[in-house]
Structure 1
């Protein structure tokens, strides 16, 4: 396992990070979830990403149980706040001071720790003044409940505003957690240049494009039983944008590149995002321990420029690059 600095901070994280969105507390039984976390630890992963909204707080609880007994100083635990949790009352959502300060205490209790390494704004809250949100994060840091602060799916302008306020308040905004893969490159035009300027790293989710870049979905073929594309709990909806024959056919063209590098298709997908020097880590999920063992082999892989070009040629115009997609996918009003 290789490690990278997170933003301009001194914190290092494992470049393959284990995340439990759509798995722990919902799709996967607790015993299997714990086995996946232990497989991640055995593979050298030290960084774990979760959020209070995942399985309506159950994912944090499962992760805390799975990490119980581990040396806390050897781990980097990241969680998030914004989306509705609990009974989803009128203050159970957003980035108000009330919700941020109450949510960090709930996350720490469920995770079984006295602090998280990175506390992240899961989305930008248009209903709360940014000054209020950043002051709340500053107080979380000063209380020792979080060491650093990050965000998720913020635009370049929002990153600049948040970073400036954080600096004024005496803490560091060091990371952004966007969707990023060989198929979804919307951060490259504006978010990545702004992040480089500010000293912010990307902590990317869905590097395998919800499983499409594994190559297991073939144009015109039947959906594999038990795959995300058949999951009615949320996976099917997330993957639907890629389930077109033109995309699936283009993905199959990546197979010779993976074979030339001695990688599986999923390893190639994870290694691809790690070629971007603004990416600190790729978040992988798993429903089985062997998936962790396979994908962690992408750590340390260097893809030659010639093969990076071949990947671009293979995928062609099915790649989404529009930077406006970041803002387009953002909640326009607070979710309740």
Structure 2
């Protein structure tokens, strides 16, 4: 599998990152099976968060690591400072508390990547970067990143870190997919628009995309008349996205691959380092993701798929 390098990490990061939002304490056999399949295709990085499955995702990963002894083979990305019923929690105390809980659940002293799950634009970036640098200095995290931050806030954070001799974000994790979001899937989520893509290209900051395949939009299960999935209708149904789907189907036919593999390849063939968070649950889906990750698309094909070229 292809990999990217993230500044601050010794190990490379596989371009496919295994999502674990279905890892629970009551499905250990599925967790073990999925992780074995993921390792077999060359994956080495997993994504989790304090809030996934009420905390069971991190606990399930921790149990799997203990039982298999594969900690040295895995990059862990976990996330904290997610809003709760009281509102935003992007502050030093919440970060400290959430990270301590995550490390305990995972059964590790340090994670390779730690990201803020949301942003709070009312908080100056300086306070956030300073708080995260304390954990970098302590060794409890090896790199820091931002999930669902706009590129404008990423730029502010980069400038603050440089001006104050601190370590800034080494990666960002918004949604990036061939299908463009009409509105956020969840409150506070960010999808990369063209301006964000241009910013990432200019700065070469690695982007780790969630919902990289637009939550099944490219599987062929959906049509403009099929409106049974209200969230998919709300977020991804648009004339432009149906045209992107049509073009992806056409290109897939020419290359002898599936449409969803073209959608995955679109994310992984950008002009800056990218990874895609995936959620396969069987061998066939895992192999499909690997094949999609190995596809090469030209800049002209990317532009045509994205409707920027006739």
Compute the displacement of 1:250 (Å): 5.3
- Deviation, 1:215, is 1.9
Residue 3 (structure 2) aligns with: 3
Q: Which residue in the other structure is 1:322 paired with? A: none
Q: Output the CA distance in 2 between the equivalents of 1:314 and 1:155.
A: 22
Contact 1:48 1:78 in 2 (8 A): yes
Structure 2 Cα separation of the partners of residues 260 and 273 of structure 1 = 19
* CA shift in 2, pair 1:238/1:83, >3 Å: farther
Q: 1:53–1:112: structure 2 CA closer, same or farther, 3 Å change rule? A: same
SS at match of 2:18: strand
- Map of 1:163 onto structure 2: 158
Mapping of residues 268-279 of structure 1, within 5 Å: 268-279=262-273
CA distance in structure 2 between the aligned counterparts of 1:213 and 1:244, rounded to whole angstroms: 13
Task: Please name the residue that 1:47 is paired with.
Answer: 45
Cα–Cα, structure 1 residues 154 and 209, in superposed 2: closer, same or farther, change >3 Å? Answer: same
**Which residue number corresponds to residue 192 of structure 1?**
197
CA contact (8 A) 1:163 1:198 kept: no
Distance 2:117 2:273 in 1: 18
What is the CA–CA distance in structure 1 between the aligned matches of 2:198 and 2:224, rounded to whole Å?
Answer: 35
Q: CA deviation at 1:177?
A: 0.3
Q: 1:188 to 1:70 in 2, by over 3 A?
A: farther
SS in 2 for 1:124: coil
- Verify the 8 A CA contact 2:267 2:274 in the aligned structure 1: no
Once residues 224 and 258 of structure 2 are traced to their aligned partners in structure 1, the CA distance between those partners, rounded to angstroms, is: 19
Aligned partner of 1:286 in structure 2 is: 280
2:217, 2:232 within 8 Å by CA — same for their partners in 1? no
CA distance in 2, matches of 1:65, 1:210: 28
Report matched runs for 1:39-118 at 5 Å. 39-68=37-66, 69-84=68-83, 90=86, 94-118=89-113
Q: Aligned partners of 1:260, 1:25: CA distance in 2, in Å?
A: 40
The answer for unaligned runs of 5 or more in structure 2 is: 182-190
1:309-324 → structure 2 map (5 Å cutoff): 309-313=303-307
Higher RCO, Cα 8 Å, sep 6+ = 1
CA RMSD after TM alignment: 3.0
CA contact (8 A) 1:251 1:314 kept: no
Among candidates 187, 192, 203, match of residue 208 of structure 2: 203
Alignment equivalent of 1:241, drawn from 235, 253, 258: 235
Is 1:267 paired with 2:261? yes
**8 Å CA contact retained: 1:117, 1:146:** yes
With normalisation by structure 1, the TM-score equals: 0.78
How many residues are aligned here? Answer: 299
Q: Alpha carbons of 1:189 and 1:96: their partners in 2 closer, same or farther (altered >3 Å)?
A: same
